[in-house]
Amino acid sequence: METRMKKLVALAGVVVLAGCANTTGTDGIVKVDKTTYMLGGLGGMLDFSSSGAKTRMIRQAQEFCAEQDKEMTLVSSTGKDSGLGTYASAEILFRCDAK
């Protein structure tokens, strides 16, 4: 019983520390080649599916392209739902095309 309690306390500590961390998991938008950009990262504590993280990234990509007076075109996206001790995550590839 004591070992189980220690494991629960350790797990709670990890969850608290993870909650304090920056949950974007990224340094921002990265240029992959001449016309393609990538954005990836982690969802928040309440994102159980990757769709929440992916939606925020798509909005960020749209804003990035709008600042250049261009329109964001999604090339591809991937995502992984949260699991025990892990956040949901997502990654998008996109282009900024002329309007």
Q: Stretch 56-63: mean pLDDT, rounded?
A: 95
Taking the model in full, what pTM does it have?
A: 0.70
Per-residue pLDDT tens over the stretch 3-27: 655 554 454 444 443 443 434 444 5
The residues near 92 (Cβ < 8 Å, ≥ 6 apart) are 38, 39, 40, 54, 57, 58, 61, 74, 75, 76, 77
**Bigger pLDDT: 1 or 96?**
96
Q: What is the pLDDT of residue 90?
A: 95
CA distance 61 to 64: 5
CA distance 37 to 39: 7
Per-residue pLDDT tens over the stretch 49-58: 899 899 999 9
> Are 24 and 39 a contacting pair, CB within 8 Å?
no
